[in-house]
Structure 1
Amino acid sequence: MPRLSHGACLTPAWDEPPVRNVLDPHPPARCSHFQPAPFTSMTTPATPDTLARSFFQLSLDTGVLKFGEFKTKAGRLSPYFFNAGLFNDGATLGRLAEFYARRLIDSGLQFDMLFGPAYKGIALAAAVSIELARLGHNKPYAYNRKEAKDHGEGGTLVGAPVSGRVLIIDDVISAGTSVRESITLIRAAGATPCGVVIALDRQERAHENGVDTPHSAVQFVRDTLGLSVVSIATLSDLLDYLRAQGGAGIGEHYAKVSAYRERYGVQEA
């Protein structure tokens, strides 16, 4: 399944192919210093499917992805729950950053810098910027404060000057509110919002003013706001992952997740 929802800013991919093996569950220890140059080999080339599967395995191992019965903000009873806030130590955040960086390189979406909306986007922007540098693509990053600072550097923006093509990074898109706020900040700085990268595309209908819409939050960002959206994985990927497990273990959740997708899911182009 494609993980890039096309908006207005798709351009050719970077010249270098992705070369870091993010699928190794036991990556080598990281040195205290490194040279931001691309790696030169990968023993196990990753397809988008294997990248998504490895992402789900990490999410399960860390408790980020759980199965059961969970009430969503929209009042729906969901058979799964994804909480990216539990990527909360150096090792798991580093692995997550690898997945983001790899998916971005594979997507072919060009950008000049990362922007992390407060609060979850702050750590993501920093971590993914580091990982991209390790892969030879050094990108600046910035983020916003919720409250303006009236001393020191002042203002609401922190980090590199916001300029050029700016990619917004977050964990999920629920209602698009954070994306809209980020677009306003980026444009006010004289830069161009270029796209959004997220961990999981739930592929379910948005819920606005007490009513289910025919589109998802990702589709709204893509079709109405005109931004491309890249995701590490989608709900379709999760169903593929569960189906591959068979009827035992976590595979037993396939039927409920599939029924939820049937009821609340959106049609993808």
Structure 2
Amino acid sequence: MKRFKISSLVLLVFVFTTNAQSKKAEDKNAIKKMCGCYEVTFNFAETFRYSNDSLYKPSTTKIAKALEWAQLIEEDKNKISIQHLLQVGDPSKPHIVKHWRQDWIFQNTDFYMFNGDNSWNYEKKSESEVNGQWTQKVFQVDDSPRYEGSATWVHVDGKSFWENTTDAPLPRREYTQRNDYNITVRRNRHEITKNGWVHDQNNDKVIREEAKEDIILAKEKGYNTYIKVDDSKCKAATDWWKENNEKWALVRNKWEEVYARNFDLKLKAKVDNKALYKYLFSEEYTKKEDVNKVIESFVTQ
């Protein structure tokens, strides 16, 4: 009887481990389906407004289209990193814009959570809190932090999706136009579709002040569709990445060193009246020592 119980326990452990490995492989497959060449439509509209100001002006509805190349730049058993590149302008001679990056880390326990005013609080979670989950870490065009959150990929009824709520900085389309709120509470859903994938968002525009309750100024709907097209349409972007990937590896490596300090992080908005991305987008910054020095000059804690 005792031998039978031990054998049953071994069998249960084997089945559990096999199922977990199968689920993880399914998760990774879904994440990697976001790679490739896509015709993207960005859709954002302010929906509900809660301001008591009679002169309040809502954000204008935005609809924009572009080609976007999502390049797989790193993969190991617990991490997938994808760099996005926009391909815009004249199709015969397109302009390439280094766009956002997303890193997916399995059962990650180290977090930098946005806290307004260009600052991120370091948080350490327990292994039990993130068991089976994937953290999506989203980075700015200069590979500085943006926002991140952890959740479980769900595969059910023929659907594969991941969704999470987290605090984030204002997107460029907002902070260049307004300063009446300082936090975007993002409700992100990434869903793989038969034609590509969808980034579905239901966001709050929040005013946050220390020792006060958050004030929701307005709500926003975002619905970005990524329709897969032949990779050859993004050849200009792939060529650009081949020419520039070594430089941006230096940038990522320096940021990894900063993040590994595991302390609260605050960054300057500008140094000598110039934003970080303007330094790093310059052809002057190609050497490791120059890249390291300029990034460090923006880190205040």
Structure with the bigger percentage of helix = 1
| Higher RCO, 1 vs 2 (CA within 8 Å, ≥6 residues apart) | 1
Could you say which structure has the larger radius of gyration?
Answer: 2
Give the strand-richer structure, 1 or 2.
2
Range class of TM-score, shorter chain: under 0.3
- The TM-score, its normalising length taken from structure 2, stands at 0.24
